[in-house]
Chains A and B, each alone.
Chain A
């Protein structure tokens, strides 16, 4: 089974917090004002944050999960 997950390019993140506002699972926080941090446990890879990000630096990654 593949799990979908949002991945932030931390280096380019402006920490604006747009992604935090749209996340339906509250899985994103702004880490110490530096970048957006995705809680892997909560993220369901819905891609709302990726669509919202003004810099378009969030991508949805597929993780292979061994059952």
Chain B
């Protein structure tokens, strides 16, 4: 910011939270080495909800979301984006709330599978399910085996959610504008909904 109050974008030191993309990238990498790191992803679900419920803002999306920063970096610095407008239907409320609903249903299904493993009604699946369809063998990341099976099952399930949303986000990042994921991000839609209710 210069004397006239105009943000020149340079010279000013970036605030700490603009480096959170490193945390997001690290999260995905750690999940390759040890699946139990996937549990940390819960923070990406809880923190935005706490901020919106207590402060009534979308400060998480606006400032702290490392994933958004990562998409921005991929699109703007690495030029991995066509920079085309998203189709109108993808911007519509129908699609945003529809995707949130679909995402939540799949999330509950993941929790149910974890519950079945907890109840010994199902064995541990050492796979990561990509885009809710493709089962990728992920046994190489199953390192700590002396924890209850459901803990590992939840980790595989949660990592699937995170990897799927990253892949979807990268696809729309390339096809449309950087951070187009933010428009239909279920967490973003949910926190906005919380703010509207407040």
Contact = CB atoms under 8 A, between A and B. Distances in A.
**Is the interface on chain A under 10, 10 to 19, 20 to 34, or 35 or more residues?**
20 to 34
A15 B7 contact: no
Interface stretch (B20-28, B85-93, B142-150): B85-93
Interface string A3-34: 00000000110111110100111100010111
Interface residues of B, number: 39
Contact of B189 (A14, A23, A54, A55): A14
Given A30-B58, A52-B177, A56-B177, 12 more contacts: A14-B183, A15-B61, A16-B62, A17-B62, A18-B179, A24-B6, A32-B198, A33-B196, A34-B195, A34-B196, A56-B85, A56-B91
Interface of B: 1, 5-9, 52, 56-59, 61-63, 68, 72, 85-86, 91-93, 96, 176-183, 185, 188-189, 191-192, 194-196, 198
